[in-house]
Amino acid sequence: MLERFELAKECGFHSIEAHTMTDPKEAEAAKAASEKTGLPIHSVMNSDHWRFPLSSANPADVEKSLEGMRTSLRNAKLWGADTVLLVPGVVNPEVGYQQAWDRSVAAIRKLLPLAEELKVVIGIENVWNKFLLSPIEFAHYVDQFKSPYVKAYFDVGNIWLYGFSHDWIRTLGSRIVKIHLKDFSFRQDPTIKKRVADFTPLRDGDLDWKAIHKALMDIGYKGDATVELPGGGAEHLKEISRRVDLILEGAD
């Protein structure tokens, strides 16, 4: 754990997003590594919301998901992180859109007292879950909780299939608590007659990083931006760090 933190710091990163840790010893090791390196853990990537979505019709699955979030919230408190990322629900052939909305809202309301007690924000993330497909809807979803402890965790890459990142950023505005960075190259696949996305290194894909930078400046965003990309050795990570610097500078 300590070696990972030291490598991240060496490569130019300023903070870490950690995954949910159910083992207290692992969680304490992460805390110790953070403190020794001076590299803060700023948020927690909740782990169980895909296997056991809050939108499930199975109460047992929902309870597992809730318990996973409780663990994540307590991890965040231990580490001094201010946010836990949550995928709120998944729309699929068995779960309709309204069902995903109603079930996830009810479940998040159950989590709010703990989030408020620990002073940790639940950051709702937009992913390819066929849910919250417009910026206006996303904003409404967050606003209905009427709590400073439910905000938007905005992934600039994920949203590119549904619109334009800079438009979503301006619509969500101060609701955005954290940012994920990734890049894609989009193409039409003739074999399946659908538009598909391939991961690319940051700034090599189709995202308009200049427009994204301007939108973040316009809303006065000052939070963390986490690269959600495959890892690697020092040279690979240093190159990612360099590209992030260019994005944060608004470079061409």
The rounded distance, in Å, linking the Cα atoms of 115 and 69 is: 10
Least confident of 94-98, 192-196, 235-239: 192-196
Helix (H) or strand (E) holding 43: strand 41-45
Q: Side-chain half-sphere of 59: how many Cα atoms within 13 Å? A: 0
State the pLDDT at residue 222: 93
Strand residues in 63-127 grouped as ranges (E): 83-86, 121-125
**pLDDT score of 188 more than 80:** no
Helix (H) or strand (E) holding 16: strand 16-19
Q: Summarize the confidence of residues 182-207 as an average pLDDT.
A: 85
Residue 197 pLDDT class (50, 70, 90 cuts): confident
Q: What value does the mean pLDDT of the chain take?
A: 95
Burial class of 159 by CB neighbour count within 10 A (0 to 12, 13 to 18, 19+): buried
Higher-scoring residue by pLDDT: 127, 197: 127
Report pLDDT digits (tens) over 78-104: 999 999 999 999 999 999 999 999 999
Residue 107 pLDDT class (50, 70, 90 cuts): very high
Residue 105 pLDDT class (50, 70, 90 cuts): very high
**pLDDT score of 230 more than 90:** no
State the pLDDT at residue 59: 96
State the pLDDT at residue 30: 98
Residue 52 pLDDT class (50, 70, 90 cuts): very high
Q: Is CATH 3.40.50.10800 correct for 2-182+208-242?
A: no
The rounded distance, in Å, linking the Cα atoms of 181 and 183 is: 7
State the pLDDT at residue 185: 87
